Amino acid sequence: AIDLTQSPSSLSASVGDSVTITCRASRGIASGLAWYQQKPGKPPKLLIYGASILENGVPSRFSGSGSGPDFTLTINSLQPEDFATYYCQQFNSFPQVTFGGGTKVEVK
């Protein structure tokens, strides 16, 4: 199985900050990586797939990069609605997919 290690597990930030979350794959996954946002009591929401492709309707302040083993999710000019938990997912070994452990973005 391909393991994904997210860092940090949590971070504190203020509205307007830029934040970066990293996801490291245990082996090569090409561009088979997605990022999700999850708010309490809600299902995850797809933000980015193919490492850097923005899902329809997702604000452009979200961006993804990387090609293995390290991938990053960057949120520019953090907005109040962006405080949430973010997960990476690898789907290169589809249908056997795996998720990272999550990064909680909290208010400083």
Partner 1 sequence: EVQLVESGGNLVQPGGSLRLSCVASGITFSNYWMSWVRQAPGKGLEWVASVKGDGSVKAYADSVGGRFTISRDNAKNSMDLQMTSLGAEDTAVYYCARVYYYDASGPFDFWGQGTWVTVSS
Residues that bind partner 1 in the complex, under the rule CB under 8 A: 1, 32, 34, 36, 38, 42-46, 49, 55, 87, 89, 91-92, 94-102
d(CA 53, CA 60): 11
DSSP string spanning 18-47?
A: -EEEEEEESS--TT-EEEEEE-TTS--EEE
Q: How many CB atoms lie within 10 A of CB 40?
A: 6
Of 16 and 40, which CB lies nearer to partner 1 in the complex structure? 40
User: Among residues 83 and 91, whose Cβ is nearest to partner 1?
Assistant: 91
Q: Shortest CA distance to 105 belongs to which of 33, 39, 24, 60?
A: 39
Residue among 17 and 72 whose Cβ is closer to partner 1: 72
Q: Identify which of residues 9 and 74 has a Cβ nearer to partner 1 in the complex.
A: 9
Q: Which amino acid is at 85?
A: T
Contact 90, 25 (CB under 8 A): yes
Distance of closest approach, residue 87 Cβ to partner 1, in angstroms: 6
